[in-house]
Structure 1
Amino acid sequence: MNQRSLGNTGIDVSEIAFGGVEIGLPYGPGIRSQKDMMQEEEAVGLLRHALDKGINFFDTARMYGRSERLMGKAFVDIREKVILCSKCQHLRDSSGQLPTPSRLTALIHRSLEESLGALGTDYLDVWMLHQADLEILRHETVCRVFQDIQKAGKVRVIGASTYTVPESETAIRSGVWQVVQLPFNLLDQRQAVVFDLAAEKGVGLVVRSVLLRGMLTDRGRHLKAPLNKIESHIARYRDLAGNNHIDLPEYATRFVLAQAQVSAVLLGIDRLEYLDVAVETAAKGLIPEALLRGARPFPDPEFIDIPHWDRMGWLD
């Protein structure tokens, strides 16, 4: 497994990062409850197997159910061998408001201590804002508290998980957030406009949504009528991949790995076979030029909204 520099942080990470949401809570196609998930010992074994395969970068969050605890159990005796990234709990309340500065400070500190306890460690390699919007990214108290925690040595690097291009650009330009986790994939390539800026500023980029919640796999077939244009676009990718003797998930993953500014590709993994395929895919190196040329994004990226599709019943 190749490693890449995480921006200018001095940390080297495996180019495939283990996404911990799927082992932590019901998430993804066909996963409705804990009975559909891996058993605890299986998940711990999967995490150890990932490390054996060369993955050293493990991503989780306070909001990912049992994920932090499972990673703590898996790596309790080999903490120095892994790069642990977690995320603070959501800062807004149920009405969408941010707490007062004093309560916000207490919330952030409490979230960190809970993460450290669950992970069984006294420091995090990377600690991020979760669902960081523009107000949060610029919030004086949020920035100060995260930087104070970093100075205290409880966190090596601080970052932010973003959704929109303006959020990513704000984080990269801030001089505060050293790592940005953002969505980017074959269908939705909007975030590519910040890649060179991140490289210039020395900010590490971690890409999620590489397979777009399974849409860039066999799940992207036989979709309901409102998604016909999406399905047709995915079919073009599938045909192009087939013409180059690979499958669609490999195409989607290697396309993102081909972006030189990207430090790591975050893949949600909850099966041994998914892990092995991810490792094999990363080992294949440069993607054929024809696949790069054919990687045209969906022409209406604003339409790409998996939660909305789910609410509308288009994914049933």
Structure 2
Amino acid sequence: MKLAIGSQLFGMDPDTRGDARISPQEVQAILAYARRAALDMVDTAPDYGRSEFVLGAEGGEALPRKIVTKTPVFHSDSIGYEDMLLLTTSFSRSLWRLRTSRIYGLVVQRGFDLMKPGAEAIYAQLKQWKAEGKVEKIGVFVRDAQELDALLSQYAFDIVQLPVNVLDQRMPDSGALRRLKLKGVEIHARSVFSDGLLLTKPEELPSRYASYRDHLEQYHGKLQDRRMQPVEAALLFIRSVPQIDYAIVEINSLAHLKEVHAAFAVRAGLDFPFRRFALNEELNLMDSM
């Protein structure tokens, strides 16, 4: 398993998520560190503000070899001409912003879009780009095992991105990850910190997360008993899931990347009772991607 750099915060407008925009110099430092640390994947999307543009402008030789971006979200009830125009325009713009002629992965940002009438045209276009060498692997983001099974009954993917974390262990528990590995699918874990929920002190939780406070107080209490840091524990759980190939973590500074990278390298024993803290429900988080 490897660590992948999530670049959502690289190009977001200030205060979009309560974070300041990361400066170009900081992005350069993050990517330079990633190269030295042999972190070979960066994850982005056309709707991550200026993220793709920033990566292309500031990455240079330090840009990770494996670039994964997304399709746009399709808001229509069925896939038609306008949606296909949106898809092709978005992909062309992504390549231009990233200053490259090919990328490692193109992921359908919302799996539900592939279940709409006419969606086979989206898949066919992705396959065409793969055949042309513009994309090495095509994939999809899914929210749960039911959505995944429905999609796998119609399509084949090289990459599947999905939510996995201490609070949401549905995917590993369902056997979906084992089934994917039997098919040779590359698995990317998203939401590994539950949008920061696992890292926030219970008394500092925003009001929208109030229903999780008691549960997280117990979790953090157990962490203190084991003398574990929240970042370390969250990544320790992800590393305990053998089918995961990449853990995508949204990075907001060089210091943050160094902290995450150091925690990811910790080889502590796996005797923490993670299963006890699984809520196994689709958490009402702001950042599902």
Shared fold per TM-score greater than 0.5: yes
Using the TM superposition, give the Cα deviation of residue 201 of structure 1 relative to its aligned residue in structure 2, in angstroms. 1.1
Unaligned runs of 5+ in 1: 5-14, 309-316
- Contact 1:206/1:264 (<8 A) preserved: yes
**Cα separation, 2, equivalents of 1:28 and 1:212:** 18
Instruction: Provide the residue aligned with 1:232 in structure 2.
Output: 214
Using the TM superposition, give the Cα deviation of residue 50 of structure 1 relative to its aligned residue in structure 2, in angstroms. 2.0
The 5 Å alignment of 1:194-213 reads 194-213=176-195
Of the three residues 242, 257, 270, the one matched with 1:289 is 270
Change (3 A) 1:106 1:29: closer
**Cα separation, 1, equivalents of 2:139 and 2:51:** 19
Instruction: Provide the residue aligned with 2:61 in structure 1.
Output: 77
SS in 1 for 2:276: coil
Q: Are residue 60 (structure 1) and residue 47 (structure 2) matched?
A: no
Unaligned runs of 5+ in 2: none
Instruction: Provide the residue aligned with 1:217 in structure 2.
Output: 199
SS in 2 for 1:186: coil
Instruction: Provide the residue aligned with 2:27 in structure 1.
Output: 43
Instruction: Provide the residue aligned with 1:10 in structure 2.
Output: none
Change (3 A) 1:86 1:220: farther
Instruction: Provide the residue aligned with 2:140 in structure 1.
Output: 160
Using the TM superposition, give the Cα deviation of residue 136 of structure 1 relative to its aligned residue in structure 2, in angstroms. 4.8
Using the TM superposition, give the Cα deviation of residue 241 of structure 1 relative to its aligned residue in structure 2, in angstroms. 2.1
Instruction: Provide the residue aligned with 1:121 in structure 2.
Output: 100
Using the TM superposition, give the Cα deviation of residue 228 of structure 1 relative to its aligned residue in structure 2, in angstroms. 4.7
Using the TM superposition, give the Cα deviation of residue 237 of structure 1 relative to its aligned residue in structure 2, in angstroms. 2.1
Using the TM superposition, give the Cα deviation of residue 104 of structure 1 relative to its aligned residue in structure 2, in angstroms. 3.0
Change (3 A) 1:51 1:137: farther
Q: Are residue 108 (structure 1) and residue 76 (structure 2) matched?
A: no
Of the three residues 227, 234, 243, the one matched with 1:252 is 234
- Contact 2:188/2:245 (<8 A) preserved: yes
Instruction: Provide the residue aligned with 1:151 in structure 2.
Output: 131
SS in 2 for 1:267: strand
- Contact 1:136/1:142 (<8 A) preserved: no
Using the TM superposition, give the Cα deviation of residue 180 of structure 1 relative to its aligned residue in structure 2, in angstroms. 0.8
Q: How many residues align?
A: 283
**Cα separation, 1, equivalents of 2:7 and 2:216:** 26
Q: Which amino acid aligns with 1:18?
A: I
**TM-score scaled to structure 1, two decimals?**
0.81
- Contact 1:206/1:265 (<8 A) preserved: yes
Q: Which amino acid aligns with 2:71?
A: C
**Cα separation, 1, equivalents of 2:184 and 2:32:** 31
Change (3 A) 1:289 1:76: closer
Q: Which amino acid aligns with 1:191?
A: M
- Contact 2:11/2:50 (<8 A) preserved: yes
Instruction: Provide the residue aligned with 1:25 in structure 2.
Output: 12
Identity level (%) = 22
Q: Are residue 278 (structure 1) and residue 257 (structure 2) matched?
A: no
Of the three residues 183, 196, 213, the one matched with 2:163 is 183
SS in 1 for 2:72: coil
**Cα separation, 1, equivalents of 2:92 and 2:207:** 47
**Cα separation, 1, equivalents of 2:109 and 2:130:** 17
SS in 2 for 1:212: coil
Instruction: Provide the residue aligned with 1:311 in structure 2.
Output: none
CA RMSD of aligned residues (A): 2.5
